[in-house]
Amino acid sequence: MASRTFFAIDSPGAERYRLEPLAERLAQMGARPSSLDNLHVTALFLGENVDKGTLSAAKDIISKIRFRQFECSISGLGVFTDDEPRVVFANISSGSRELSELNSMLRNSLSKAGIGTQARYHPHLTLARVRKGTDIEGVMAMVRSSKEPEFSFTCRELKLKQSHDTKDGMAYEDLASIPLV
């Protein structure tokens, strides 16, 4: 079973449920929406099926990270594409500078431990994964015209998480966490 390991900040509270109408529209177009209960902003993606040594180093690194709390604002939609859209996301309109700093701090710490990571980073909140049969034109029209969602939250905790594909969607597990101060 494939697993993905990453550092993330959960989107807290009831604000995330303002995304439900968007998730429903994306599902009607054939995309697989993210569970609103598991929405998060990825601070750094470690990889798929990471080995025990990398996982151990990541747990050690998160225990030593010191970073301040900050505000994140969500506004508008975007897509990650190769030839076609594969992920629909909500943009981080404020807090992206802090997230990029946190990403850089994590990458540097992992590099010192001999662990390479991807340098490209775009702070976002994943709303749905595009799958075969999704109405691509409909998704792109929604992304271009949408001003929603708009909400803010305080980033208070950094987590090391793993996700696993299941028949019912993604299952998430918190492996370690540290408060942001």
HEC profile for 91-140?
A: EEEECHHHHHHHHHHHHHHHHHCCCCCCCCCCCEEEEEECCCCCCHHHHH
Stretch 153-167: mean pLDDT, rounded?
Answer: 93
Distance CA 140, CA 123 (A): 20
pLDDT band with cut points at 50, 70 and 90 for residue 118:
confident
- The verdict on pTM exceeding 0.85 is yes
- Per DSSP, 29 falls in state T
Domain count, the chain: 1
Range of the domain at 114: 3-61+70-179
**Residue 59, by phi and psi: left (phi above 0), alpha (psi -120 to 50) or beta?**
alpha
What number of CA atoms fall less than 13 Å from residue 172's CA on the CB side?
A: 18
Is the confidence at residue 13, as pLDDT, over 80?
Answer: no
* Among the listed residues 22, 43, 54, 60, the one whose alpha carbon sits nearest the alpha carbon of residue 159: 43
Average pLDDT over residues 42-57: 94
CATH number at residue 111: 3.90.1140.10
Provide the pLDDT for residue 122.
Answer: 94
pLDDT at 1: 60
| Residue 6 confidence class, pLDDT cut points 50, 70, 90 | very high
